[in-house]
């Protein structure tokens, strides 16, 4: 018994000795320490095993074994803690400090990613060079006679004619680029004179590019533009003057308008300049009369009686009316369908002027609503719609394509909100003489007049004739026939009808000495009560050169406000004294 006791003491002492001695091992010898710990605990377990005893069931015995294991295990953790926190703590602290590469720096990145070349989707440093195309040397914009409309002076874009903001737009560091400046930016900056691959090469290799800024020549005629501006004066509205054979825009006026110069910052700009430009921009945007809107291409108005030109052309072209002398009546009232109010003329007893029965020429000249309602109904919704489409008017719910004019922002005129609308007789009758849902731009109406006058061909309207970089022409507009709207025969008949409207009808006041003019006035009802005043006209009838459309917002009857404007502009264009 004492012997066994002594053995146990020896084991115990040995274990303690191993543990105490080895706890001083350097931190680098941690494996050695772990082995010593294991050995020490094993030695400790030998005497401790005696404590378990043999009493109880096997299971109890085993559980006591587990208790011993748990005790020794947690004792091991205690010893490990003593080593970590006391005997080796200073060494650990020094070792961490001496790692010398402070940890806060990003983890040493794998500088050399050993990707399999076959897996690579992109090679090289992916470096690109910025390609600077100097905006200081920007091309000029001139009218058809070379009158400068936009140029860069001392690095600053200036617009000598301040009334063309709605066409030319502006190039502003604060508010971007608009109008022709935006649409033809590539030509004006000279980018268009470069091959795309030259730019790509410069981007890839840093090589130099040499672009030549191009000058734009417009179809606009400054003289006619000034005349139109003068004629419209300071009334809200728009004037569009087209060259009939080509579709070129000769004059395009809108009012109210804005001066693009006030939106351009000088270089270098002071804070005062910035404030001034910002104030001007804020004021333009805050105004309720929308000076930034180009009414000639973006203003959508009810067409009023000018649309009768379309209805008449459709009736003749489709054969619904055999010829201009075909019999048409002009009753005071025309019932269309049950429950709908009957169509009524603007003045009662109009048949006294048109005659009873009358013909197409006279009902057009005196703008008889009931007559055109009947013509519309005879055409039927499908045929009427087909002709509206040919003239470029679409349906709001199924806009078929972009506007014909590409050079500046424009809106597409619409004949109705949806096709089903015209299936109702009352709606078809209304639309045929100029009421209903139709909303058109002045440009649409000018195009209508021009195509009727141009042997039935609808031309694409355009504003930029060519872009020229030095001696090189890099862009030239070609007159483009969009489609044959009506036959040349119909065109001739319509010109006669329109001329008669001037000779005997409401459009009489437009007459100019020595010139035959064809025209149609229009009075479009507005919710406000005062109607919009419209006119479309072509001249000279024998060989039409000019087509014009004028709208004066809330200008009253067509012959009163719009007609004198058109007359003045045509007089200027035809160079006659009114």
Would you say 304 and 366 are in contact if contact means Cβ atoms under 8 Å apart?
Answer: no
What tokens does 75 get? 């004792």
Q: Report the residue number, 24 or 355, with the smaller CB distance to another protein.
A: 24
Beta strands in 374-516 (DSSP E): 394-395, 414-416, 457-459, 464-469, 472-476, 481-484
In whole angstroms, the minimum distance from the beta carbon of 314 to another protein comes to 31
Cα 471 to Cα 88, 184, 288, 468, distances in angstroms: 88, 18, 46, 6
Residues tagged active-site: 305
Q: Report the residue number, 94 or 287, with the smaller CB distance to another protein.
A: 94
In whole angstroms, the minimum distance from the beta carbon of 172 to another protein comes to 17
Q: Report the residue number, 98 or 271, with the smaller CB distance to another protein.
A: 98
Q: Report the residue number, 119 or 154, with the smaller CB distance to another protein.
A: 119
Q: Report the residue number, 15 or 512, with the smaller CB distance to another protein.
A: 15
What tokens does 138 get? 């920007």
Helix, strand, or coil here: 98? coil
CB neighbours of 251 closer than 8 A, spacing ≥ 6?
220, 221, 224, 225, 227, 228, 239, 240, 241, 569
For residue 90, say if its preceding peptide bond is cis, omega within 30 degrees of 0. Answer: no
Helix, strand, or coil here: 362? helix
For residue 9, say if its preceding peptide bond is cis, omega within 30 degrees of 0. Answer: no
In whole angstroms, the minimum distance from the beta carbon of 547 to another protein comes to 23
What tokens does 147 get? 């009158």
In whole angstroms, the minimum distance from the beta carbon of 33 to another protein comes to 10
Q: Report the residue number, 197 or 398, with the smaller CB distance to another protein.
A: 197
What tokens does 127 get? 């470096």
Helix, strand, or coil here: 383? helix
What tokens does 490 get? 């119909």
In whole angstroms, the minimum distance from the beta carbon of 411 to another protein comes to 18
Helices (H), 84-190: 89-97, 165-168, 179-183, 185-189
Helix, strand, or coil here: 238? strand
Would you say 544 and 516 are in contact if contact means Cβ atoms under 8 Å apart?
Answer: no
Would you say 433 and 376 are in contact if contact means Cβ atoms under 8 Å apart?
Answer: yes
For residue 256, say if its preceding peptide bond is cis, omega within 30 degrees of 0. Answer: yes
Q: What is the helix (H) or strand (E) element at residue 228, kind and residue range?
A: helix 222-232
What gap in Å lies between CA 182 and CA 165, rounded to an integer? 12
What tokens does 389 get? 């489409």
Q: Report the residue number, 13 or 93, with the smaller CB distance to another protein.
A: 93
In whole angstroms, the minimum distance from the beta carbon of 70 to another protein comes to 4
Q: Report the residue number, 65 or 509, with the smaller CB distance to another protein.
A: 65
Would you say 216 and 187 are in contact if contact means Cβ atoms under 8 Å apart?
Answer: yes
Residue 48 CA, chain-centre distance (Å), reads: 89
Q: Report the residue number, 37 or 350, with the smaller CB distance to another protein.
A: 37
In whole angstroms, the minimum distance from the beta carbon of 205 to another protein comes to 4
Residues 568, 573, 577, 578, CA torsion sign: negative
Residues linked to residue 130 through DSSP beta bridges, in sequence order = none
Would you say 461 and 482 are in contact if contact means Cβ atoms under 8 Å apart?
Answer: no
Q: Report the residue number, 294 or 501, with the smaller CB distance to another protein.
A: 294
Q: Is residue 153 exposed (0-12), middle (13-18) or buried (19+ Cβ within 10 Å)? A: exposed
In whole angstroms, the minimum distance from the beta carbon of 348 to another protein comes to 52
In whole angstroms, the minimum distance from the beta carbon of 97 to another protein comes to 3
Would you say 325 and 361 are in contact if contact means Cβ atoms under 8 Å apart?
Answer: yes
In whole angstroms, the minimum distance from the beta carbon of 508 to another protein comes to 42
Q: What residue has token string 């909100």?
A: 417
Q: What residue has token string 């030549």?
A: 212
């Amino acid at each position: 018994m004492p012997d066994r006791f002594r053995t146990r003491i020896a084991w115990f002492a040995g274990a303690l000795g191993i543990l105490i001695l080895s706890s001083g091992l350097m931190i680098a010898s941690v494996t050695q320490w772990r082995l010593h710990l294991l050995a020490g605990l094993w030695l400790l377990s030998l005497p401790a095993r005696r404590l378990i005893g043999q009493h109880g069931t096997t299971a109890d015995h085993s559980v006591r074994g587990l208790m011993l294991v748990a005790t020794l295990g947690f004792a091991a953790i205690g010893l490990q803690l003593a080593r970590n926190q006391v005997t080796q703590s200073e060494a650990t602290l020094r070792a961490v400090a001496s790692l010398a590469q402070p940890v806060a720096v990003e983890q040493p990145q794998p500088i050399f990613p050993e990707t399999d070349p076959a897996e690579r989707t992109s090679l090289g440093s992916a470096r690109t060079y910025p390609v600077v195309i100097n905006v200081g040397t920007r091309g000029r914009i001139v009218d058809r006679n070379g009158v400068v409309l936009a140029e860069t002076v001392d690095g600053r874009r200036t617009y000598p004619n301040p009334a063309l903001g709605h066409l030319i737009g502006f190039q502003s560091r604060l508010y971007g680029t608009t109008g022709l400046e935006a649409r033809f930016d590539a030509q004006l900056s000279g980018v268009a004179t470069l091959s795309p691959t030259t730019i790509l090469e410069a981007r890839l290799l840093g090589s130099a590019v040499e672009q030549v800024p191009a000058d734009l020549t417009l179809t606009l005629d400054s003289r006619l533009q000034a005349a139109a501006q003068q004629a419209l004066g300071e009334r809200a509205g728009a004037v569009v003057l087209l060259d009939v054979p080509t579709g070129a825009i000769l004059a395009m006026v809108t009012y109210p308008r804005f001066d693009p110069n006030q939106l351009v910052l000088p270089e270098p700009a002071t804070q005062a300049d910035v404030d001034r430009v910002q104030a001007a921009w804020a004021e333009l945007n805050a105004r309720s009369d929308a000076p930034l809107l180009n009414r000639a291409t973006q203003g959508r108005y009810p067409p009023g009686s000018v649309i009768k030109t379309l209805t008449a052309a459709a009736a003749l072209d489709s054969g619904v009316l055999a010829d201009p002398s075909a019999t048409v009546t002009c009753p005071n009232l025309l019932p269309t369908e049950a429950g709908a109010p009957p169509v009524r003329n603007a003045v009662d007893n109009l048949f006294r002027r048109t005659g009873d029965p009358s013909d197409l020429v006279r009902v057009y000249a005196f703008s008889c609503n009931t007559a055109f309602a009947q013509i519309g109904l005879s055409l039927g919704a499908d045929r009427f719609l087909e002709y509206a489409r040919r003239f470029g008017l679409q349906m709001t719910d199924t806009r078929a394509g972009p506007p014909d004019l590409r050079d500046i922002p424009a809106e597409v005129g619409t004949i109705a909100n949806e096709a089903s609308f015209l299936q109702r007789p009352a709606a078809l009758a209304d639309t045929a003489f100029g009421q209903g849902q139709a909303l058109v731009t002045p440009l649409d109406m000018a195009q209508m007049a021009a195509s009727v006058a141009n042997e039935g061909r609808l031309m694409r309207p355009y504003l930029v004739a060519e872009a020229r970089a030095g001696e090189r022409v890099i862009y030239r507009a070609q007159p483009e026939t969009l489609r044959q709207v009506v036959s040349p025969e119909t065109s001739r008949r319509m010109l006669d009808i329109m001329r008669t409207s001037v000779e005997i009808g409401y459009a009489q006041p437009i007459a100019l000495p020595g010139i035959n003019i064809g025209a149609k006035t229009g009075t479009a009802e507005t919710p406000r009560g005062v109607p919009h005043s419209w006119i479309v006209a072509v001249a000279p009838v024998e060989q039409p050169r000019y087509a014009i459309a004028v709208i004066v917002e809330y200008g009253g009857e067509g012959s009163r406000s719009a007609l004198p404007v058109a007359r003045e502009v045509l007089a200027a264009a035809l160079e006659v004294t009114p």
